[in-house]
A and B are shown apart, each in its own frame.
Chain A
Amino acid sequence: MNLFCVGLSHHTANVETRERFAGHAETDCILRAAGCAEALLLTTCNRVEVYGASEERVSTDEIARCLVRKVDNKTEEYALPFYRYEDTRCVQHLFRVASGLDSMVVGESEILGQAKKAYESARASGAAGPCLHRLFQRAFHVAKQVRTHTDITRGSVSVGSVAVDLAQRIFGQLGNCKVLVLGAGETSERTARALVSRGVTDLRVSNRSSDRAEELARLVGGQAVRFDEWPSQCREIDILITSTSSETPLLTPENLSAMLRNRVDRPLFIIDIAVPRDVDPSVNEMEAVYLYDIDSLQSVAEQSLALRRQQIAAAEAIITEHVAAFGKSISHRLDCNAPPSTEDRALGETPLRTSES
């Protein structure tokens, strides 16, 4: 049985091309009709890939035709942006994809969920048989191992998630944290929502326009606070998200030290996403105050990405090991229909649950 992967991704094709070949509900059936004994379609916003197993070679052009959403006259261009990996390279590619190494944001874990969903869908429709079952089970196991044994998923890579991540590094559980959102802009809203999703329940919103404050408070499940009351709120809160359009800093070491009198043992985390900044940078020098502006959040996101890139070699080593082991186990049996060995079972391969398909 020949294992192959034909696809296109953000590396090889622009969004317009990816849209054109995004596949459709009947793609699995058409692929099987085209000669694939087993076929699985993995579509995300960054990639469209067909994983298949066939006795006879199915051409890339043929697969591209199956993926096209609308029949057009550009038939001669069908196979142009597609890559094709066979056997060991196909296995390696899937392991890299599932581990997030081939993603636009290295180490992102969403792709694993998407791959699982695609596999479940193909299994349910009967398009995925024993070959793809083994391949994908092993891919999920490898992805898990890569995530556990390397720092590939460590750190956050977007401004909102960096802020939430830092808050957790300071306070641990966020359930008891009190948050004040000063200025009801779009980024504030996103950050506030991210904090709520991580357990924050006490969220206050203050804005020059009280209508907007009330609206945001309603959206994120918080309470609106009058704009002239925010200084008194600073005594109680643990996290301050500020994004007002003030031309001068609202918080300076002088006024903040007066607000924080007698709260020496509780940290204050300030996320200043306003431009120009709402908080004087020297506030970061104050005891137990941690100030991050938009540039420092961006810098942390870049550090996280760099950290993830450093982990690629370690992740590739794990993948190479698994590719060799998988190739060996397949060639040993020469037949995908043979039951998985004890070693395979230990590595996450289970018999295909045909009764459910």
Chain B
Amino acid sequence: MDRQFLIVSTICFFAAVVRTIVALRAGIFRPGQFNFLAIGLGFIFQTAFLSIRGHALGRCPLTNLFEVFIFVAWSVALIYMLVGPAYRLSLMGAFTAPLVVLLQGFALIAPIDIRHPVRLPANPWLEFHASISLVAYGAFALACIAGVMYLVQERQLKTHQLRSVFYHLPPLTDLFAAITRLLWWGFALYTLGLVSGFFVGQPLPYVQMVCASAVWLLYAAILQGRHLRRLAPKHVAALCIIGFTAALTLLWGITFTAQMPSPP
């Protein structure tokens, strides 16, 4: 039953992607209300899925890679709903929907929804640690998307080839301001998640600690480079994309190792 909600949610996000592609082909690149509505509906179904799964598990649904991917996709949609309209980045929806479709599509197709043989006990600190870290991933994902938008806009300005999309993307300085804010929000949430990991009452696996610290250091370095003005906006945008790709890969690694049976 819960997977059906997820399928409907993926269809909603996919509809937003199709709409964008059709608009692009017609040369009318306009986000409009449809994208926001489709993403909003998709978000509602995502929330319904997580809620049902959470009730069934009796805890925050973050017990396997499948649930982690869906939670990241939900965080991306959540941050978009909060940030997109506020920063007038309505076009961000056109870039957000494909990422969510990829995450959810992969989660639905790949055989990664493996239930734990035993019911995992609820641990509020562990759940807080995991969920807040994944919401931070949502902010990093949006920073990555804003980074893609920045590079698209920058490339067109540099080459003097201005396509229809150029007139619908936000100004470069606004995009860079959004990237910076998203990075700071993501970093603050991730730090909170990392610190809360020390209170879970059980030792975290060494690999997880190393991977989580690597992600934290990577974003700290990007922010420091930005703060000290050592990095040009274009490089910050590119690093946001590289950073999120690396963070997602490490997240996979973390979750995968956490699912492996412990040595006797």
Q: Given the complex, which residues of A lie within 8 Å of B85, measured CB to CB? A: none
On A, residues with C-beta under 8 Å from B are: 149-151, 154-155, 166, 168-172, 262-265, 267, 284, 287-288, 290, 292, 296, 299-300, 303-304, 307, 310-311, 314
Q: Is B170 an interface residue (CB 8 A)?
A: yes
User: In the bound complex, do residue B26 and residue A314 qualify as a contact, i.e. CB atoms below 8 Å apart?
Assistant: yes
Q: What are the interface flags for B126-161 relative to A under an 8 Å C-beta threshold, 1 for contact and 0 otherwise?
A: 000000000000000000000000000100011011
User: In the bound complex, do residue A155 and residue B158 qualify as a contact, i.e. CB atoms below 8 Å apart?
Assistant: no
Which chain B residue shows the least CB distance to A172?
Answer: B171
Q: Given the complex, which residues of A lie within 8 Å of B231, measured CB to CB? A: 264
B222 to chain A, nearest CB (A): 13
Q: Given the complex, which residues of A lie within 8 Å of B28, measured CB to CB? A: 149-151, 311, 314
User: In the bound complex, do residue B162 and residue A288 qualify as a contact, i.e. CB atoms below 8 Å apart?
Assistant: no
Q: Given the complex, which residues of B lie within 8 Å of A154, measured CB to CB? A: 164, 167
A-B pairs with beta carbons under 8 Å apart, 29 shown = A151-B164, A154-B164, A154-B167, A155-B162, A155-B167, A168-B171, A169-B166, A169-B171, A170-B171, A170-B172, A170-B173, A171-B173, A172-B171, A172-B173, A264-B231, A265-B176, A265-B226, A265-B229, A265-B232, A265-B233, A287-B234, A288-B233, A288-B234, A290-B158, A300-B160, A307-B163, A307-B164, A311-B27, A314-B26
Per the bound structure, the CA–CA distance linking A79 and B259 in Å amounts to 87
With A172-B174, A303-B162 as contacts: A264 and B157 at CB distance below 8 Å: no
A263 to chain B, nearest CB (A): 8
User: In the bound complex, do residue B173 and residue A151 qualify as a contact, i.e. CB atoms below 8 Å apart?
Assistant: no
12 additional A-B pairs beyond A151-B29, A284-B158, A288-B234, beta carbons within 8 Å, are A150-B28, A151-B30, A155-B162, A155-B167, A170-B157, A171-B172, A171-B173, A172-B170, A172-B174, A290-B157, A307-B163, A311-B28
Residue in contact with A296 in the complex, picked from B153, B160, B164, B232, CB distance below 8 Å: B160
Q: What are the interface flags for B214-234 relative to A under an 8 Å C-beta threshold, 1 for contact and 0 otherwise?
A: 000000000000100111111
On B, residues with C-beta under 8 Å from A are: 26-30, 153, 157-158, 160-164, 166-167, 169-174, 176, 226, 229-234
A310 to chain B, nearest CB (A): 5
User: In the bound complex, do residue B161 and residue A303 qualify as a contact, i.e. CB atoms below 8 Å apart?
Assistant: yes
Q: Given the complex, which residues of A lie within 8 Å of B166, measured CB to CB? A: 169
Per the bound structure, the CA–CA distance linking A149 and B31 in Å amounts to 11
Q: Given the complex, which residues of B lie within 8 Å of A171, measured CB to CB? A: 171-173
Which chain A residue shows the least CB distance to B166?
Answer: A169
A121 to chain B, nearest CB (A): 34
With A264-B232, A265-B232, A265-B233 as contacts: A300 and B162 at CB distance below 8 Å: yes
Q: Given the complex, which residues of A lie within 8 Å of B29, measured CB to CB? A: 151
Q: How many residue pairs between the two chains, A and B, have CB atoms under 8 Å in the bound complex? A: 71
Residue in contact with B232 in the complex, picked from A150, A166, A287, CB distance below 8 Å: A287
User: In the bound complex, do residue B27 and residue A267 qualify as a contact, i.e. CB atoms below 8 Å apart?
Assistant: no
Per the bound structure, the CA–CA distance linking A314 and B158 in Å amounts to 30
Q: Given the complex, which residues of A lie within 8 Å of B170, measured CB to CB? A: 172
A215 to chain B, nearest CB (A): 32
User: In the bound complex, do residue A310 and residue B27 qualify as a contact, i.e. CB atoms below 8 Å apart?
Assistant: yes
Q: Given the complex, which residues of A lie within 8 Å of B176, measured CB to CB? A: 265
Which chain B residue shows the least CB distance to A293?
Answer: B160
Which chain B residue shows the least CB distance to A176?
Answer: B173
Q: Given the complex, which residues of A lie within 8 Å of B233, measured CB to CB? A: 265, 267, 288
Per the bound structure, the CA–CA distance linking A267 and B161 in Å amounts to 18
B89 to chain A, nearest CB (A): 12
With A265-B233, A300-B162 as contacts: A307 and B171 at CB distance below 8 Å: no
User: In the bound complex, do residue B27 and residue A151 qualify as a contact, i.e. CB atoms below 8 Å apart?
Assistant: yes
Sorted nearest first, the 6 A-B pairs with minimum C-beta distance are A172-B171, A287-B232, A296-B160, A154-B167, A172-B174, A310-B27
Which chain B residue shows the least CB distance to A300?
Answer: B162
Q: Given the complex, which residues of B lie within 8 Å of A296, measured CB to CB? A: 160
Residue in contact with A264 in the complex, picked from B153, B172, B229, CB distance below 8 Å: B229
Among A151, A300, A314, chain B packs the most CB atoms within 10 A around the CB of: A151
